[in-house]
Amino acid sequence: MLELPEVLTLAEQLNDKVVGKKVIKVLPPTKEHKFCWFAGEPTAYDGLIKGSEVIAAEGFGIFAEITFDNGYKLCLNDGINVRLIPYVDMPRDYQLLIELSDDTKLVFTVAMYGGIVLHDGHNDNEYYIKSRQAVSPFTPEFEAYYRQVFANSKPKLSAKAFLAAEQRFPGIGNGSLQDILFAAGIHPKRKIGTLGDAEKDVLLKSAITVLQDITKAGGRDTEKNLFGQKGGYPVKMCKNTVGEDCPKCGSQIVKETYMGGSVYYCPVCQPLV
C-alpha cells in the first residue's frame, strides 16, 4: 500500500517521464473490481481527457495526482498501483489504461481496494481533503503540529493508533509506522499516555528521519514504483523479517495481530512498559 514516501516517489517519476505527453486513448476496466472506486463511469474518462497533455504530478498524504492541461486531475490513493510500460506489453487485466503519445501507457490496477478518481479540481472525498491539508513531516511546521496532535489525543491511545489511525498524519500507515516505532524504541501497543517528554521527542525525530530515509531511497522494498521496481529502503520490521534477528540486539522479531492488522517489533528493544 502506498504511503507518503511512495506517493512522493511516484510523483517525481511521473513528472520526469510522463509530463509533456498527450493522452491518445483511455480504456475502462477489463474486469470489474468491487473494491475499486471511480468518480462517475470510467467509460467516460476517455471523452474527458483524450487529447489533453499531462502537465504535472503531485504526491501528498496517501494520494498521487496527475494534472492535465484541460483542468482535469486524475487522483489515485494508497491501494492503487500504476505502472508505465511500453505499448507492446499490453496487460490482460487492469482497472484503467491510458495510452500516451510516445507509445507508452499508464496501467492502473488495484491491490486490495482503492480509488481512481477523475475530477475537475473539486474532490470532496474526506481522505483527499485531509491529505491535501496535511502538514508535511518535511516542513518546519510539523513539530508544532505533532505536539498539538499529541496534546489533543487520548492518553489510552496506542502508539500505532496515534500514528496511523484517524488520518492524524496522512501518509503514515501500517508500513512505515513499524520502522518509526522501532527507531524510537516504542512498542506498537504502548499507550501514549505512558510516554515521557524525552520519548515524545524521540518519536517525533524518528518519524521525520525514517520517512526521509524511505523517501530518499525511492520507497520501501516491500512496494514497487512506476516502473515496477522495488523501493531501495530495506524495511526492518515487516512480514519479510519476522523470525529474523533484530538489527539492534539480535533478538527475534515477532508479529502480532492488532487493530485489524499486524504489528512487527523487537520485544527487547521495544518493551511494552
The CA distance from 219 to 53, in Å, is 27
Give the pLDDT confidence score for residue 91 in this predicted structure.
80
The CA distance from 113 to 80, in Å, is 7
Q: Which residues of the chain have pLDDT under 50?
A: none
**Angle, helix 197-216 to helix 4-17, in steps of 10 degrees:** 30
Please write the tens of the pLDDT for every residue from 45-84: 999 999 999 999 999 999 999 999 999 999 999 899 999 9
Q: Which of 107, 103, 108 is nearest to 86 (CA)?
A: 103
Phi-psi region of 260 (alpha: psi -120 to 50; beta: other; left: phi over 0): left
Give the pLDDT confidence score for residue 204 in this predicted structure.
98
**Under a CB-based contact definition with an 8 Å cutoff, are residues 237 and 217 in contact?**
no
Give the pLDDT confidence score for residue 1 in this predicted structure.
87
pTM for this predicted structure? 0.95
Each domain of the chain, given as residue ranges in start order, spans: 4-133, 142-265
Query: CA-CA distances (angstroms) from residue 243 to 5, 90, 95, 175?
Result: 26, 39, 36, 18
Please give the grid coordinates belonging to residue 50. 483524450
Q: Which of 48, 46, 49, 53 is nearest to 18 (CA)?
A: 53
CATH T-level fold of 142-265: Helicase, Ruva Protein; domain 3 (1.10.8)
**Under a CB-based contact definition with an 8 Å cutoff, are residues 246 and 262 in contact?**
no
- CATH topology match: 4-133 vs 142-265: no
Q: Which residue is it, cell 500500500? A: 1
Q: What is the DSSP letter of 73?
A: E
Q: Which residue is it, cell 475502462? A: 28
Give percent helix, percent strand, percent coil of the chain, each to the nearest 5.
30, 25, 45
Q: In CATH, what class is 4-133?
A: alpha beta
Give the pLDDT confidence score for residue 32 in this predicted structure.
87
